[in-house]
Amino acid sequence: MVYMRSALNKAPEVVGVLFGLVLFYFWLIFIDKIKMLFFSEAVLVDGNKIIKAQYWGQIDQWLVAGLILFFLIFGHYSLCSKNMSRIEKNRDIIGMKSALIGFVLWLFITIISFLFNITVTYSFNIVGGYITIIFVYFLMRKSYI
């Protein structure tokens, strides 16, 4: 019975994370639409007109993968903040802020490396971005404690 009550208490948290995943999916659609609207070109291939968006390598990779942590934490916070303690709320707020700050910092690095024609592998790009987010998270947590 205690296990059942505990599982029911966790249900809003799981729904919050799933809500964050849905928001992340909308972010991906938004990024795709922006690229197709402003950064695309029409190419003729065998008499067929194909609209193709520009590919920016590591910038595109980070735009797609970089904000998933933010959206997961945001979904959790938005649906569960009424029932959370102050410590849990602060942890989620610090997580969201550090995810955004780390995302922007790593985005600048990817833009600079792209402009200087420095090719970065996908795994290094994503791991480097998440390490940046974790570093910012620990810096922010240290300053809040």
- Give the pLDDT means over successive 10-residue stretches in the chain (145 positions): 54 90 96 92 85 90 95 94 87 95 97 94 96 95 72
What's the pTM value of the predicted model, to 2 decimals?
0.86
Please give the residue range of the domain that contains residue 38.
Answer: 2-144
Name the burial class of residue 54, with classes exposed (0-12), middle (13-18) and buried (19+) by CB atoms within 10 angstroms of its CB. exposed
pLDDT (tens digit per residue) in 91-101: 999 999 999 99
Number of structural domains in the chain: 1
pLDDT (tens digit per residue) in 80-122: 888 888 888 999 999 999 999 999 999 999 999 999 999 999 9
Cα-based torsion angle of the residue sequence 101, 102, 105, 109 in order, rounded to the nearest 10 degrees: -160
